[in-house]
């Protein structure tokens, strides 16, 4: 199957994909602020440059897009593969996933705890609040 967009249109569309301050990330930050937590953003001194960092707690949160980071939940409708150019997309998306696993391992080795919020989880705000509160208050970081 061929791409439905021209190369110029595809390039323009892909250029609009943001690496920070995405809508899901802003929603998670809004929830954390409502819960009364203070945090830092995009810490370059930590592996993977986490989206949200709680320095005193040594905990970080990554807000992952289900498509870009290969959400492993088989029921997630956002984690589907494209229909065209699989020879391009599969290695790219799998490299993202491998990088995420390395980052998680590096953070753990440094004594940091991490939590991943998947894009599809954001729609249930109350459940997400509970999950975030549990992660941040648990001394073990579960």
Q: Does residue 123 lie within any of the structural domains?
A: yes
Q: What is the pLDDT of residue 26?
A: 93
Q: Does residue 4 lie within any of the structural domains?
A: no
pTM, rounded to two decimals:
0.84
Return the exposure string of 57-81: e unless at least 16 CB atoms fall within 10 Å of the residue's CB, then b.
bebbbbbbbbbbbbbeeeebeebee
Domain count, the chain: 1
Q: What is the pLDDT of residue 16?
A: 65
Q: Which residue has the tokens 């959400």?
A: 71
CATH number of the domain encompassing residue 64: 3.40.960.10
Q: Does residue 8 lie within any of the structural domains?
A: no
Q: Does residue 34 lie within any of the structural domains?
A: yes
Q: Does residue 102 lie within any of the structural domains?
A: yes
pLDDT tens digits for 55-95? 999 999 999 999 989 899 988 988 888 888 888 889 999 99
**Per-run averaged pLDDT (10 residues), the chain, 142 residues:** 72 68 91 95 93 96 92 88 86 94 97 96 94 90 54
Q: What is the pLDDT of residue 85?
A: 83
Say what the alpha-carbon torsion angle 8, 13, 14, 16 is, to the nearest 10 degrees: 130
């Amino acid at each position: 199957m061929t791409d439905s967009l021209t190369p110029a249109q595809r390039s323009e569309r892909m250029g609009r994909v943001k690496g920070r301050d995405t809508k899901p990330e802003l929603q998670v930050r809004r929830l954390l602020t409502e819960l009364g937590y203070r945090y830092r953003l995009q810490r370059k001194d930590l592996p993977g440059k986490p989206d949200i960092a709680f320095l005193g707690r040594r905990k970080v949160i990554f807000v992952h897009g289900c498509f870009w980071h290969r959400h492993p939940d088989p029921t997630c409708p956002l984690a589907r593969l494209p229909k065209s150019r699989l020879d391009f997309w599969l290695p790219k998306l799998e490299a993202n996933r491998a990088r995420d696993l390395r980052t998680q391992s590096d953070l753990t080795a440094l004594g940091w705890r991490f939590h991943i919020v998947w894009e599809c989880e954001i729609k249930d705000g109350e459940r997400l609040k509970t999950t975030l509160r549990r992660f941040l208050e648990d001394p073990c970081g579960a």
